[in-house]
A = this chain, B = another copy of it.
Amino acid sequence: MLPADTVLLLFGLVALVAEAMTAALAAGRRKMDWFGVAMLGCITALGGGSLRDVLLGHYPLLWVKHPMLLVLTGGAALLTIALAQVIHRFHALFLVLDAIGLVVFTIIGCNVALGMGHPLSIAVVAGMITGCVGGVLRDVLCNEIPLLFRSELYATVSLVTGALYVAATSYELNHVAAVVGAFVVGFAFRLLAIRYKWEMPKFIYERDGH
């Protein structure tokens, strides 16, 4: 395994933990029980990759092959309960880890689709599904309209990261350079979007339907 891929994997594991922990906080806001907290952690952290694999017919799913990922993410969610009193102090850290996760999951998702021989556009979509769908599942299970559809540059960051990575790969750029380049641009873009509150314009339509 190349060093760049090892780093990507390590970042991915850290990001899985971070996603599970933020999902645990969302569960706590809805007064879920400990079991629900662990479940929501697993689903949020692993749901994006799972949906990608199901839609592409890419079996076995990652957590089926590596069941330890369920222990890692469920455990991280449960740990969050113990840390609830102090975790808000690490708010900035979580934003950074979440940004890393978004970018890393996107690149991994692109790689899976490219490895299956899908066209470049599908690779970008696979990256977006991997990076963004976990949060959508979390919001649906918390009975909310997905945040992804309503605010912040999140999916757009995933789109830009994936497009860059896939373009670099298709020009047969050095693999390490493609990973590092896409990562740096995507990560910086996401942090800038948070810092300066960049948002997509909203579509507001007041007429009644049906």
Contacts and interface: CB of A to CB of B under 8 A. Distances in A.
A150 interface: yes
A192 interface: no
A175 interface: no
A59 interface: yes
Contact of A27 (B32, B155, B203): B203
B125 A67 contact: yes
A100 to B, nearest CB: 18
A75 interface: no
A37 interface: yes
The quantity of this chain's copies bound in the complex is 3
B150 A31 contact: yes
Contact of A145 (B59, B60, B143): B143
A26 interface: yes
B59 A57 contact: yes
A93 interface: no
Question: How big is the A interface, by class?
Answer: 35 or more
A151 B35 CA distance: 9
Interface in A127-163: 136, 140-151, 155-156
B56 A209 contact: no
Nearest to A149: B36
A181 to B, nearest CB: 23
Nearest to A27: B203
A28 B203 contact: yes
B205 A84 contact: yes
Interface stretch (A7-15, A103-111, A115-123, A166-174): A115-123
Given A141-B146, A141-B149, A203 B24 contact: yes
Given A39-B155, A149-B35, A209 B29 contact: yes
B55 A205 contact: no
A203 B70 contact: no
A138 B139 CA distance: 14
7 contacts: A28-B204, A29-B209, A39-B149, A40-B149, A64-B118, A141-B145, A147-B210
